A = this chain, B = another copy of it.
Amino acid sequence: MTRFIKKDKQEIGLSPDELVFRGQKKTDQVLLRIIDFDSTNLTEDDVKTVNEVSKFQHKDTVTWINVDGLHNTSIMQEITSAFNFDNLVMAEVLNTDARPRVIEYDNCTLITIKMLRLDEKNGKTIVENLSLILTKPILISFQEQKGDVFEPVRERIRKQKKRIRNGGTDYLTFALLDIVIDNYLYVISVLGEKIETLEENLLLNPNQNIINEINNYKRELNFLRKSIKPAKEMIFSLAKTDSDFITESTYVHFKELEDNISQANDASDDYREILSDQLNIYHTTISSKLNDIMKFLTVFSVIFIPLTFIAGIYGTNFEYVPELSYKYSYFIMWIIMIIVAIGMLLFFKKKKWF
């Protein structure tokens, strides 16, 4: 169940540096993947203890430590100690329900953002919290579960792409955030294609199912917007941050993140409006159709009302009804009925009632 907010009673009043994992456990084993590189050398390693990580700390090379899984707080505690972070930093990393934010600490900058990923199997969008701890030679990224979202960046590092191999942890940060936002764009574009396809069915065959679909898409879009809007705020505040760990030349790239997240945000606004227009079109079409039916049928019944009345009159059993005995009465009745019917039709036609 996707919830818009989550706050348990037990979480109220926790100390801000308490290392409690408040999310769902999404993976069994905490995995630490390390890539250490400079423009010429590259080391890749999957390790399971924090000890193995700390050796990279005092090297000049760029070290990217990716942590999959957050539930093992003792590992988190070890990382905190190994790199000498304030407890507050890791408490933030574990608080996966918090809003995307940039926080500057004495010896690191923390960046958190929601990752949206499309589960291609069932078309559902998966949300996951990503935290990046940025220091000069080391970038630690925390994901809630194992995933291959960042594989393209690893590929670029492996393939010796000049820019990423020469950039520092700040450029790497950009590269990761860029992928996150590209995924936003992708998720919205997939949803958007469904919405635009809907439009054609809407006019041909408006029915309750389409309404349900529109409402589903609306809910999906609201859900996406819930991640995108605070992410936009975060990205814009990131580009204004005066962090020690971000070099001047990287800010140009952050500018690009701003443009991309704005585009995602605009698109979500656009689709929102399209959905609301579609609802309007649906209602107009439905009510226009009902109008047609009601008008036709009402006109139809009204024409028969006086005819049936006339027939009723001559169905009475009064002893003295002069017309009854006249030989042509029956035919005259038919003629009168036809005249009445045609007269009413003409009247309605003139009034443009059908």
Contact = CB atoms under 8 A, between A and B. Distances in A.
Interface of A: 1, 3-9, 11-17, 88, 98-99, 101, 103, 105, 150-153, 155-156, 161, 163-164, 175, 178-179, 182-183, 185-186, 188-189, 192-193, 196, 203, 208, 211-212, 215, 218-219, 222, 226, 229-230, 252-253, 255-256, 259-260, 262-264, 266-267, 270-271, 273-274, 277, 279-288, 290-291, 293-295, 297-302, 304-309, 311-325, 327-330, 333, 351, 353
Most buried by B among A15, A175, A353: A15
This protein's copies in its complex: 5
Nearest to A303: B305
B298 A5 contact: no
B189 A5 contact: yes
12 contacts: A4-B270, A7-B188, A12-B179, A12-B182, A13-B150, A13-B152, A229-B266, A297-B299, A308-B308, A318-B333, A319-B324, A320-B330
B319 A178 contact: no
Given A4-B274, A16-B163, A322-B330, 8 more contacts: A4-B271, A5-B263, A103-B252, A215-B281, A282-B284, A305-B308, A309-B311, A311-B312
A11 B152 CA distance: 10
Contacts of A291: 286, 290
B192 A5 contact: yes
A72 to B, nearest CB: 23
A296 to B, nearest CB: 8
Q: Which 6 A-B pairs have the closest CB atoms?
A: A13-B152, A311-B312, A314-B316, A5-B267, A7-B185, A315-B315
A309 B309 contact: no
A212 B203 contact: yes
A297 B12 CA distance: 55
Contacts of A15: 156, 161, 163-164, 175
Contacts of A152: 12-14
Nearest to A208: B288
A17 B288 contact: no
Contacts of A189: 3, 5-7
A252 B88 contact: yes
Given A281-B215, A309-B304, A327-B319, A259 B298 contact: no
A226 B192 CA distance: 15
A125 B155 CA distance: 41
A13 B182 contact: yes
Contacts of A283: 284
Contact of A211 (B3, B155, B284, B316): B284
A222 to B, nearest CB: 7
A213 B316 CA distance: 53
